[in-house]
Every structure is written in structure tokens, then in C-alpha cells.
């Protein structure tokens, strides 16, 4: 039986908190999975073999076609660097996008050959309130290439004096055959409930549609090649970027198909239908009560009965996730959020604009898909409701710090391996891990409810009680769990009063290694530590064995 001194709860639901970071340094194993024929990405310049593999269910995990690197290794939630290839541009062009979702895609595909401006470029701006300035309209009218969302979302941009005879215009809504309906409007009512977005039967958030993103990428690439000239250096450069992007898209589809093949079933309630295209794509089921949805998508407000029905649904056993838009958290959305928190449900926070900490549109969609699938516990993607209490029995044993092996060079091979796949040099990684691993506690022994800490040959022992767990949301979009223990009785000098374990597990089970956070004030203060996470492996392992284990992890 656990001696509980605290409540289990989610520490934060803010996926874009700039003050949070991922403290755990483990590598992210690459995923090999097949792509089914439900989604058929058209890759114009890929060899017929690769296209055939994509369209018929061939293996894509090991196909790094037209890419300079592949997703493997690095910290959870991080992106891995590709080998730099200099862009060669004999022509450059100006690109103006109405919103940064499409601007980021245009920049990724154009590289140095495209000068991209996104007119709405921050999550602090509300596109539903946006009023284009004369300068905005002038930029649109003068651009070589214009990228619009369409579907009535950015009608202000469509009012610019665009000239299809002199400009190349990509309208994603048109590409998908989605246009604004008479029902589509943006009502702005200030007050307790905040803003209401009334899209009628139209869902204009087409940047959350994987099919829409693929169509947009193809159209932008075609516009670039046509603008530069098919045989120009610029055309060759943008085609290379497009091919690399297609490789990333293949990884995204493989991720989704891995979830499908594993039979992952997710159900959700949404405060508004912002990411429904993406959730439909991964096979999630929308459990939002129709009466609530209808009310939010019209000028009406949900009745008290409709709101209660939605709250009860969120708290029910057949719902996994609540989706919220932090840019539009009116009174009704807040009540659904409270229902999710009180019932320990997973909350996915999705803004409309590309968040400041996300570099690419496809990377953002991949992150949200990982959050919704919640099948990669090791790398911080899991359902809140799956987190269970644990005891010190999971950590029992004799443990040694890995810090001395970092200092004496034993882990240099690990740093070199990370540098080949990551975005820092081996020296920079070693500096990073020096901060993370640093500790003067050489050994930790755990037996029953007692923990012993050895420093400089001197050992002190204290008794600890379990105080619950906290789920932490990191800025990178993944999450972690810390299991909390507090010293009881007389605590000898040198024994921490507060101990928190993080080992990438979320339920009872014997750990193979762990990261530990130690403090002498409170659990709350210790939870703030993100940069220093002393790491311990079994005392029976040699330094070389630990290095091998870290690289294989």
C-alpha cells in the first residue's frame, strides 16, 4: 500500500511553455513501418521504386531517398539535423503567405531561393479579428508567389489586387475543393465567453489536413520551378528541398500507419473543430456531443444542458483526449478543460498559427499526431490516464552515477554518435550532458523504503514515503512523469528531503536506469529543475556497457 502524502495531477497543459524543457537525454529510436494505400503521396521526382513502395504499402522506415539524413536519435521531442547542402540560386523570388502555417512550408521548400513573408506570424494574433493593412495588401499584390489558405479563412487576403497573369497564386482551399459557404462567418462577441468562430459546414483549418498539406507542397514546388525555369539552378535547389520534404512526409505517414497497424483507437472531445482533419486522418473518433458542436458552430451558445452533456462526456470512460485551442479559451472551453483535468484526461493544446517553438508545418502535424496516438512512452507520448502510482520497489538496487564516465571520456563515443544524428557537435553534446549528469552523489542504494547516498566514500541513509506523481508538459511538445518521494523522521545531513524519479516509465515496473532530482526545500521547487538530471545505471555495469546501453536505448 502506498503512503500517499500528495495528489497525483497534471502539472501543466501548456504545450508551448517557453520556460519548460525536456530534461531527459535519451535517444529516440527510429521507426520502421509500412505505408498503406489509404494515403497516396505523389512524389514527382522520386524513382519509380520508391513511389511504388509508398503507394503499395512498401517499407519506408529505411528509405532515406533524396534526403540528407533521417529521423533517428536525439532527445525526445527534438528534431535531428540533416547534412547541410548549400543552396544554389540563380533566381530568387518573393513569396507572401497570409498565415505562417503556409509561410513556414513555403520557406522550407524554397530555402535560400525564396524570400518568404507571413502576414500573420504569431499565435498572439487572432486571424478571425485580423484586418489587413494597406502595406499587407501591397505585399500581396507585389509578390511573385502568393500562398493563401482559402476556404473563407483569410478572405481579407483574397481581397488584395492579385493578378494571376503576373503572379503565381496557391489557394489551398481551392486545391481541396473547399470554398466558404454562406454559413461561414466569424462572430466576435467580447465578454465572458470570448470569441466564437462560426464556420458553418466549412472547416477552413486545412493546414491540419495531411492531404491538404501534401497538395499545397506540390503546388508550391510547381510554382517555384515554373517561376525559376525548369533547368535553372534555383529549380534544382527547390526540387531538392521538395524531395527532402517528401521523405519527411513518408515518415509522418509511417507514424500514422504504425498506429493503425497496432490497432490504436482514440476518441476525443474538442472545444472547436480546429484539428479534426488530422484526427480523422489518424482514425480518431469524435465524441463531441452534436448539440454542443452545433451551438459552437452557429451564432447560438451551448445551453446549460448541452454544456453539462459535453462535460460529462469529457469525464467519461470512452473519451481519451480533450482538444483545446489556447487562443480561444472562452468560458465554455474552460469548463471542458476543467472537466478534463479533474478526470485526469489527456489535453492536446493546438493553436491556429504555427507556434513560435515549431519550425515547420509538417513537424508540427507530426508532433500533434504523436500526442494523439500516445504510443511512445519512452519518448514522452502517453495518455495522462495511463499514468499509475509506483513505489520504491521499482528502483530498488545498487546504482552508480554515469557522470564519472562522462568526465573520463568513456562516453565520448556516445557524444560522437549523437553528433552524427543531432544538431550539435560532440563537444557541445558533452557540455550539455555535463550540466545534465553533474552530481557528487557517486552511488545510490535503495531497499524497501530506505535510500542511501554515497559522497566521497561517506554514506547517509533516510526513510522516504511516496507522495504521488506529476505529469510535466515540455516545450518540445512531449511529456514526462516524475514520481515523488519525501524523507520522513530525522533526516541526516547529506540526505535530500525531496527525491523525484524520472525513468520514462509511467506505471509500475522495474527500471533499468533512472534520472533523479534531489532537493531540500519542497516538491514544488524541485519540480522546477529542468537542467540537471543526475543519471544512474546498475552498479554491476562497466562504463563501456553503460555507453553501449545508452546508444542502444
Taking a C-beta distance cutoff of 8 angstroms, is the pair 32, 59 a contact? yes
pLDDT of the residue at 41: 37
pLDDT tens digits, residue range 279-327? Answer: 999 999 999 988 887 777 666 777 888 889 999 999 999 999 999 988 8
Q: Is residue 485 scored above 90 in pLDDT? A: yes
pLDDT of the residue at 329: 79
Backbone angles phi, psi at 304, to 5 degrees: -60, -40
Taking a C-beta distance cutoff of 8 angstroms, is the pair 357, 16 a contact? yes
- Grade residue 83 by pLDDT with cuts at 50, 70 and 90: low
Q: How far is CA 545 from the centre of its chain?
A: 32
Taking residues 183-196, report their average pLDDT.
40
Q: How far is CA 270 from the centre of its chain?
A: 18
Q: Is residue 154 scored above 60 in pLDDT? A: yes
pLDDT of the residue at 181: 54
All domains in the chain, ordered by first residue: 93-176+202-257 (3.40.50.1980), 264-374 (3.40.50.1980), 392-552 (2.40.128.20)
Q: Is residue 66 scored above 50 in pLDDT? A: no
pLDDT of the residue at 29: 30
Instruction: Annotate 521-535 with b (16+ C-beta within 10 A) or e (fewer).
Output: eebeebbeebeebbb
pTM of the model: 0.80
CA dihedral (361, 123, 284, 104) in degrees, to 10, reads: -10
pLDDT of the residue at 340: 94
pLDDT tens digits, residue range 221-233? Answer: 999 999 999 999 9
Share of the chain above pLDDT 70, in %: 80
Residue whose C-alpha is closest to residue 310's, from 281, 278, 345: 345
Q: What angle do CA 495, 501, 502 make, to 5 degrees?
A: 150
Q: What share of the chain is helix, strand, coil (3-state, %, to 5)?
A: 35, 20, 45
Average pLDDT, the chain: 83
Taking a C-beta distance cutoff of 8 angstroms, is the pair 363, 79 a contact? yes
Distance CA 426, CA 428 (A): 5
pLDDT of the residue at 303: 84
Taking a C-beta distance cutoff of 8 angstroms, is the pair 439, 433 a contact? no
Q: How far is CA 523 from CA 20, 123, 363, 501, 518, in A?
A: 16, 32, 34, 12, 9
pLDDT of the residue at 122: 79
Amino acid at each position: 500500500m502506498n503512503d500517499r502524502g500528495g495528489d497525483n495531477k497534471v502539472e501543466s497543459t501548456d504545450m508551448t511553455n517557453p520556460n519548460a524543457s525536456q530534461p531527459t537525454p535519451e535517444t529516440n529510436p527510429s521507426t520502421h513501418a509500412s505505408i498503406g494505400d489509404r494515403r497516396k503521396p505523389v512524389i514527382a521526382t522520386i524513382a519509380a521504386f520508391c513511389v511504388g513502395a509508398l503507394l503499395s504499402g512498401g517499407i519506408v522506415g529505411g528509405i532515406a531517398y533524396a534526403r540528407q539524413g533521417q529521423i533517428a536519435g536525439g532527445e525526445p521531442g527534438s528534431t535531428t539535423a540533416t547534412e547541410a547542402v548549400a543552396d544554389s540560386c540563380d533566381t530568387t523570388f518573393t513569396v507572401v503567405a497570409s498565415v505562417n502555417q503556409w509561410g513556414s512550408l513555403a520557406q522550407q521548400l524554397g530555402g535560400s531561393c525564396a524570400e518568404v513573408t507571413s502576414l500573420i506570424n504569431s499565435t498572439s494574433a487572432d486571424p478571425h479579428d485580423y484586418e489587413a493593412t494597406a502595406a499587407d495588401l501591397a505585399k500581396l499584390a507585389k509578390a511573385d508567389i502568393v500562398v493563401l489558405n482559402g476556404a473563407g479563412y483569410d478572405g481579407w487576403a483574397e481581397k488584395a489586387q492579385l493578378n494571376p497573369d503576373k503572379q503565381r497564386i496557391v489557394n489551398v482551399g481551392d486545391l481541396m475543393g473547399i470554398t466558404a459557404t454562406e454559413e461561414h462567418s466569424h462572430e466576435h462577441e467580447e465578454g465572458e465567453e470570448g470569441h466564437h468562430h462560426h464556420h458553418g459546414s466549412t472547416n477552413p483549418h486545412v493546414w491540419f489536413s495531411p492531404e491538404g498539406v501534401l497538395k499545397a507542397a506540390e503546388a508550391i514546388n510547381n510554382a517555384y520551378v515554373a517561376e525559376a525555369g525548369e533547368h535553372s539552378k534555383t529549380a534544382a535547389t527547390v526540387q531538392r528541398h521538395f524531395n527532402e520534404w517528401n521523405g519527411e512526409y513518408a515518415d509522418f505517414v509511417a507514424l500514422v500507419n504504425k498506429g493503425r497497424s497496432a490497432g490504436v483507437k482514440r476518441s476525443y472531445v474538442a472545444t472547436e473543430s480546429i484539428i479534426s482533419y488530422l484526427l480523422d486522418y489518424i482514425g480518431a473518433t469524435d465524441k463531441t456531443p452534436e448539440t454542443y458542436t452545433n451551438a459552437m458552430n452557429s451564432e447560438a451558445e451551448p445551453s446549460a444542458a448541452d454544456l453539462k452533456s459535453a462535460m460529462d462526456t469529457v469525464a467519461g470512460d470512452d473519451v481519451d483526449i480533450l482538444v483545446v485551442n489556447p487562443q480561444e479559451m472562452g468560458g465554455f472551453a474552460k469548463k471542458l478543460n476543467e472537466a478534463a483535468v479533474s478526470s485526469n484526461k489527456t489535453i492536446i493544446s493546438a493553436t491556429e498559427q504555427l507556434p513560435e517553438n515549431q519550425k515547420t508545418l509538417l513537424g508540427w502535424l507530426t508532433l500533434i499526431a504523436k500526442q494523439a496516438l500516445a504510443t511512445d512512452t519512452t519518448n514522452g507520448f502517453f495518455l495522462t490516464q495511463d499514468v499509475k502510482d509506483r513505489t520504491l520497489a521499482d528502483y530498488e538496487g545498487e546504482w552508480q552515477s554515469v557522470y564519472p564516465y562522462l568526465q573520463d571520456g568513456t562516453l565520448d563515443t556516445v557524444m560522437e554518435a549523437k553528433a552524427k544524428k543531432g544538431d550539435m557537435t560532440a563537444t557541445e553534446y558533452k557540455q550539455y550532458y555535463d550540466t545534465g549528469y553533474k552530481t557528487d552523489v557517486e552511488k545510490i542504494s535503495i531497499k524497501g523504503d530506505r535510500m542511501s547516498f554515497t559522497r566521497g566514500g561517506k554514506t547517509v541513509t533516510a526513510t522516504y514515503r511516496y507522495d504521488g506523481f506529476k505529469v510535466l508538459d515540455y516545450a518540445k511538445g512531449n511529456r514526462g512523469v516524475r514520481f515523488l518521494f519525501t524523507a520522513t523522521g530525522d533526516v541526516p545531513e547529506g540526505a535530500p528531503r525531496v527525491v523525484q524519479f524520472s525513468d520514462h516509465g509511467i506505471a509500475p515496473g522495474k527500471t533499468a536506469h533512472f534520472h533523479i532530482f534531489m532537493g531540500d526545500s519542497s516538491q514544488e521547487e524541485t519540480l522546477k529543475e529542468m537542467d540537471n538530471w543526475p543519471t544512474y545505471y546498475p552498479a554491476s555495469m562497466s562504463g563501456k556497457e553503460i555507453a553501449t546501453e545508452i546508444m542502444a536505448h
